[in-house]
Structure 1
Amino acid sequence: MKKLASVQDAIRNDYNNVVFISSETCSICHVDEPKARKLAEANDVPFHHLDIMQEPELAGVFEVLTVPAVLVYHEGKEIARQARFIDFTSLEKLLKQLPKDSETTDYQTLFK
């Protein structure tokens, strides 16, 4: 529960966040987690890895029905979600488009 609370604080307080939810028994999760972490770090987005086996309440809090799941947050709101089959190309494109600070966002540029 302690890790979940710190991730929820980060979502509320940080501008952008990537949350990766996995299970220790999921072999695909072990392959996808380093890839998602690398993309987040390359784009200066905080990365949070949560294990659903260690904190089962994650399923209800984040409404995750399958793992792996990648959730992207911007200004405290979920803006993207992928589960089971992660499309790393679209995830990378999204992370590159995210504004890096709280300056006024030009949404025409963001969604080109």
Structure 2
Amino acid sequence: MKQIHAYEELQSFLQNNEKALVYVMTTGCSVCHADYPKVKDIVTDVNIPSVYLLADEVPEAAGQLSLFSSPVVILFNHEKEYHRQARIIDFDMLKLRISQLLQEY
């Protein structure tokens, strides 16, 4: 997963990928750093374009995406939010939603 350093990078990534996953974490969040490898393994297995960002480094993204806690996983379909999980990530549900997203046209 590539790290995003500016909101413009995120917008460009979403414009260039019809279906995508964005993982948001903060620097001091131990749960965020513990969940990151699990999310990374999932996106590697299903081959969905994905990026991550640190909300404290890209505050504009946090504001634009209405991020009030972390970690957050957001699935996008044609630049629109398809699914979001925050704080406690249900990895089985995440896999299911990614599968559903990838099956849509």
How far, CA to CA, are the matches of 2:64 and 2:58 in structure 1? 10
**Structure 1 residue runs without a partner (length 5+):** 106-112
Q: Superposition RMSD on alpha carbons, in Å? A: 1.8
Q: Give the conservation status (yes or no) of the 8 Å contact 1:69–1:83.
A: yes
Mark the structure with the bigger radius of gyration.
1
Q: Which residue of 2 aligns with 1:53?
A: 56
Is the 8 Å Cα contact of residues 41 and 47 (structure 1) preserved in structure 2?
Answer: no
**CA separation in 1, counterparts of 2:17 and 2:7?**
15
Q: 1:31-110, aligned counterparts within 5 Å? A: 31-99=34-102, 105=105
Q: Which runs of 5+ in 2 are unaligned?
A: none
**In proportion to residue count, which structure has more strand?**
2
Quote the offset at 1:98 in angstroms: 2.1
- Correspondence for 1:22: 25
Between the two proteins, the alignment pairs up a number of residues equal to 102
Letter in 2 for 1:60: G
Residue in 2 that maps onto 1:109: none
SS in 2 for 1:19: strand
Residue 13 of structure 1 aligns with which residue? 16
Q: CA deviation at 1:2?
A: 4.8
Q: Given the two structures, how large is their TM-score scaled by the length of structure 1?
A: 0.82
Large movers: runs of 4+ above 3 Å:
none
Could you tell me the percent identity over the aligned residues? 29
